[in-house]
Chains A and B, each alone.
Chain A
Amino acid sequence: MSEFSELYQEVILDHNRRPRNFRVIEHPDGSAVGHNPLCGDEITVYVDMDGDAVRDVTFQGAGCAISKASASMMTEAIRGKSRDEVIRLFDEFHRMVTDDPSALPDVERMGKLAAFSGVCEFPARVKCASLAWHTLLAAIKDGKGIVTTE
């Protein structure tokens, strides 16, 4: 399977098979729905805040392995982070999935999210990797909303 591992790393396949924090939060502080009309992906992100920090974050929905694993790993990466930290992490994540493949991710800051660095070689899949993040930002910024990747 080595020729696929650039994109479909084991950690991504694992989060696709067993997504973490894959549940609804009843009465969340914020939630948003994200659509990728191109491939029919749809996810809902729920957040509970503790002041400025993310206390709990979960998601529901259907999508491809990249979007599902990205959502799952995002929920793990941002728990406890402040709004500003989340936005900064997303900026970095976004640069990683869109940038020149030779620009190596900062594994220390990105942690497991570095697994998505292979996405930059598949421009058609960037939207899949970033859908959950766009949806999350809508949920923590406005408390509710609908976002689409188009």
Chain B
Amino acid sequence: MSLQVLDRQIDGSFDVERIREDFPALAQTVRGRPLVYLDNAATTQKPLHVLDAMRRFYTEDNANIHRGVHSLSQRATDAYECARCVVRRFMNAPDNREIIYVRGTTEAINLVASSYGSIALGPGREVLVTELEHHANIVPWQMACERFGATLRVVPITDEGELRLDTLAGMLSSKTAIVAVGHASNALGTVNPIREICRMAHEAGAAVLVDGAQAAGHLPVDVQSLGCDFYAFSGHKALGPTGIGVLWGRMSLLEQMPPYQGGGDMIRTVSFEKTTYSDVPGKFEAGTPHIAGVIGLGAALEYLMACDRVAMEAHERDLLQYATERLSAINGLTVVGTAPNKIGIVSFVMDAAHPHDIGTIADLQGVAIRTGHHCAMPLMKRLCLPATARASFALYNTRAEVDALADALERVHGLFSGG
């Protein structure tokens, strides 16, 4: 089954209808209408390839990993470590050992803020974040700055939702320890110029953490070409299961960093006098990990890599462009976030209707979108908006689904502007 899925992805051109068949959750009705799932920035649906891999693990290989001498434990360990190679290939990381499994982007950033923060931050040192960031790339840094006596500074954006690189240049100095920036914004879709930012930060002697939560399922992720020092993403936004994610870090930094959590698996020897720690990545993987999640993540990234990536990106760009056109034509609708370089995310507000009402009325027509502050309250404040409605696309969405969204929004306009 899985190979068949993969084979035809490899061979064939990018055929959305056939891709949709791999995602069983898409084939359902909601409130009597065919589901139109446009909340992919929150989490994507999962292909059978992932579900089958996880089921196969639990039905055939389930055992705890490492240290086990029995066959199942060996198979589980192999599958777990094999997935690390898949992740390495997916991110073009230099070394398997630089791939650290975590719960998700949030845990990855907390790990870096806490562990790297303890060696890089202190009084007089600064962390730079941006106005675009998700709370997951703000709050851990606030906590670390408080703990280590460092200062948090915020890089501003333009009204279109682009980072002000000129201002960033002026903010960087020998005091800057860390620049933490999203690869792509979950609220507006803006893709940030990561290579440029890394070059600027490195000139100032700062390390760069990239929050790749929104990029991993949609853009090429090549940590060597990006030039960053840490890269974090969540499996569940890239066709994989929830509860598993990845932190990639440069070996030279990971080696210097103290462990994040203590427990089993992360130690070499334990005595009450002195405990010694495992090498990277074991040092950062305390306790029994989400083994089935790792296997599902590996399967998800295999699936993505087997797709024609160029065609997939072109398809998502087409959806973005088409949705931007269709939605902009609706009376009283304003698209929020108009940076030239975006992933498939359209945030918008409507004159007559609050985002919350837009979301409910869309749902009544089977269209799933997200409404609210998108875990980016400082960004909403910057834009002077309490909330937006957001449609976000993935490889399996279609122009017909954009039409369904536009129709639903026309109904919203009719209902609320009518008198």
A interface vs B, CB < 8 Å? 1, 3-4, 7-8, 13, 16-17, 38-42, 62-66, 68, 122, 124-125, 128
Contacts and interface: CB of A to CB of B under 8 A. Distances in A.
A4 B414 CA distance: 12
B411 A65 contact: no
Most buried by B among A38, A62, A64: A64
Contacts of B356: 39, 41, 63-64, 66, 125, 128
30 contacts: A1-B414, A4-B361, A4-B415, A7-B364, A8-B357, A13-B418, A16-B416, A17-B419, A38-B372, A39-B354, A39-B355, A39-B356, A39-B371, A39-B373, A39-B386, A39-B387, A40-B372, A40-B373, A40-B380, A40-B387, A62-B386, A63-B356, A64-B355, A64-B356, A65-B353, A65-B416, A66-B357, A68-B354, A125-B360, A128-B356
Nearest to B355: A39
Contacts, number: 56
Given A64-B356, A65-B353, A4 B416 contact: no
B366 to A, nearest CB: 11
B41 to A, nearest CB: 17
Interface of B: 353-357, 360-361, 364-365, 371-373, 380, 386-387, 411, 414-416, 418-419
B419 A65 contact: no
A64 B412 CA distance: 13
B414 A65 contact: no
A80 to B, nearest CB: 30
Counting from the closest, the 9 A-B pairs by CB-CB distance are A40-B386, A64-B356, A64-B354, A40-B387, A39-B356, A65-B357, A64-B357, A39-B372, A39-B387
B357 A1 contact: no
A39 B354 CA distance: 9
A18 to B, nearest CB: 10
Contacts of B414: 1
A64 B414 CA distance: 16
Contacts of A63: 354, 356
A3 B416 contact: no
A28 to B, nearest CB: 24
B415 A8 contact: yes
Contact of A7 (B360, B386, B387): B360
Contacts of A16: 416
Nearest to B33: A3
B65 to A, nearest CB: 38
B345 to A, nearest CB: 19
A13 B387 contact: no
Given A1-B414, A40-B380, 18 more contacts: A4-B361, A8-B357, A8-B415, A16-B416, A17-B416, A17-B419, A39-B355, A39-B386, A39-B387, A40-B373, A42-B386, A62-B386, A63-B356, A64-B356, A65-B354, A66-B356, A124-B360, A125-B356
B250 to A, nearest CB: 37
Contacts of B415: 1, 4, 8, 13
Given A8-B361, A41-B386, A66-B357, A13 B371 contact: no
A4 B411 CA distance: 10
A125 B386 CA distance: 17
Contacts of A40: 372-373, 380, 386-387
Nearest to A122: B360
B364 A3 contact: yes
A36 to B, nearest CB: 9
A122 B354 CA distance: 16
A13 B361 CA distance: 13
A123 B121 CA distance: 44
A13 B416 contact: yes
A26 to B, nearest CB: 26
Contacts of B357: 8, 64-66
B157 to A, nearest CB: 19
A41 B418 CA distance: 23
A78 to B, nearest CB: 24
A2 B167 CA distance: 52
A124 B414 CA distance: 23
A41 B372 CA distance: 10
B303 to A, nearest CB: 31
